Structure 1
Amino acid sequence: MLLDTPICDFGWKAPDFTLKDANGKIFTMSEQLGDKGLLIAFICNHCPYVQRIGLQLAEDTKLLMAEGINVLAIMSNDYEDVPADSPENMKIFSAQYGFTFPYLIDQDQSIGRQYGAVCTPDFFGFNSKGELQYRGRLDDVRIGNIKNRVPELINAMRLIAKTGHGPKLQTPSMGCSIKWSV
C-alpha cells in the first residue's frame, strides 16, 4: 500500500537509540549525531520504492558523508513475516546497492514506532542538536526524467549542515507501509 509521510515537525527531538547492524556491530544514534547533523532513513529490502532509489541513495549518501553529514538506515519491518527483509538479506541488499552507511535492525520495531516512521523510504534529517529539520523525499524527478532531478534530500541536508535549519517547503516521501508485527 502506497503511503505518504507526515509534514515535518520542525524541532522535534530525536529519541536516542542503540541498534545493531546485520553483522552485530552496535551503533548509538547520539554518537552518530555530528556537527553537521544526521540523516536517518527508514528503508527495507523488499520495497520497490527503495529498490528504485537504491543506487541514487548510495550515491547521495556518499556525497553527504564526504561533507561530514552522518547517515544511518534502519529496517523496522517484521522480517519474520517478510523474510526478504531478514538480516542476512540486509547484508546482500546493502552490498548490491553499495551502501556505505550503517544499515541497522529494529527487531522489536520500537525505534520505528518512536520516530513515527510510516513508509519505506522515510527520511528524517536532524541538525547537530538532534532536532528534526527535514522529513521528505530523496528527490523530485520532473516529468519522469532523471536529468531533471532535483536532489531534495541533498539540498535539505546541506542547508541543515550550514544553518541548523531545514527548508520550509518539503515534499513528503512516499512508499510502502512499514510491516508491523501483529
Structure 2
Amino acid sequence: MLLDTPTCDFGWKAPDFTLRDPYGTSFTMLDNLGAKGLMIAFICNHCPYVQTIGDRLAQDARTLMAEGINVVAIMSNDYRYVPQDNPENMKLFAKKFNFPFLYLIDQNQAVGKAYGAVCTPDFFGLNKEGALQYRGRLDDAARGTPKNRVPELVNAARMIAETGKGPEGQTPSIGCSIKWSGS
C-alpha cells in the first residue's frame, strides 16, 4: 500500500532506542546523536521505492557524514511476514548499495511505532538536542531518473546542523507501508 508521511511535528522529542545491526552489535540513538544532529531513515530491502533511491541515499549519507552529520537506517518491517527483509538479507542489501551508515533491526517494531513511522522510506531529521526538524523526502527525483535533482534531505540536514531548525516547507516522503506484526 502506497502511503505519504505525515507533516513534520517540529520540536517533537525523539525517544532514545537501543537496536542491533544484522551482526548483533547494539547501538543507541543517543550514541549517534552528534553535535550536528542525526538523520534517521526507516527503510527495508523489498520496497521498490527504497530500491530506487538506494544509490542516492548512500551518496547523500556519505555527503552528510563527511560534514559531521550522523545517519542511521532502521528496518521495522515484520521480517517473518516479509522474509526479504530479514537480517541476512539486510547485510546483502547494505552491501549492494554500499551503505556507509548503520542499518539496524527494529525486531519488535517498538522504535517504528514510537517514532510514528508509516512507510519506507520515512526520514526523520533531528537537531543536536534530538528534536524533530525534518520529516520529508530524500529529493525531488522520486522514482524517476535523478537529473538535476534537489537533495532535500541533504539541504535540510545542513540547515539543521547550522541553525538547529529545519526548513518550513517540506514535501512528504512516499513509499510502501511498514509491515506491522499481525497486519
* TM-score normalised to structure 1 length: 0.98
Cα shift at 1:146? 1.8
Closer/same/farther in 2, CA of residues 63 and 2 from structure 1, 3 Å limit:
same
What CA distance in whole angstroms lies between the structure 1 residues aligned with 2:29 and 2:166? 20
Identity of aligned residues (%): 71
2:155 aligned counterpart, secondary structure = helix
Gaps of 5+ in 2: none
2:147 aligned counterpart, secondary structure = helix
What CA distance in whole angstroms lies between the structure 2 residues aligned with 1:9 and 1:118? 14
Aligned to 1:36: 36
What do residues 42-68 of structure 1 show as CA deviations (whole Å, max 9, x unaligned)? 000000000000000000000000000
After superposition, where does 1:145-156 map in structure 2 within 5 Å? 145-156=145-156
1:56 aligned counterpart, secondary structure = helix
Aligned to 2:133: 133
Instruction: Give the aligned residue type for 2:151.
Output: P
What CA distance in whole angstroms lies between the structure 1 residues aligned with 2:141 and 2:121? 16
After superposition, where does 1:8-157 map in structure 2 within 5 Å? 8-141=8-141, 144-157=144-157
Question: In terms of mean alpha carbon deviation, does 146-155 or 58-67 score higher?
Answer: 146-155
Cα shift at 1:148? 2.6
Aligned to 1:176: 176
What CA distance in whole angstroms lies between the structure 2 residues aligned with 1:54 and 1:141? 13
Cα shift at 1:145? 4.8
Compare the two structures and name the one with the higher helix fraction: 1
What CA distance in whole angstroms lies between the structure 2 residues aligned with 1:145 and 1:88? 29
Cα RMSD (Å): 1.2
What CA distance in whole angstroms lies between the structure 2 residues aligned with 1:43 and 1:141? 17
4+ residue runs over 4 A deviation: none
Aligned residue-pair number: 182
What do residues 111-149 of structure 1 show as CA deviations (whole Å, max 9, x unaligned)? 00000000000000000000000000000029x452231
Instruction: Give the aligned residue type for 2:8.
Output: C
Instruction: Give the aligned residue type for 2:16.
Output: D
What do residues 2-27 of structure 1 show as CA deviations (whole Å, max 9, x unaligned)? 10000000000000000000001110
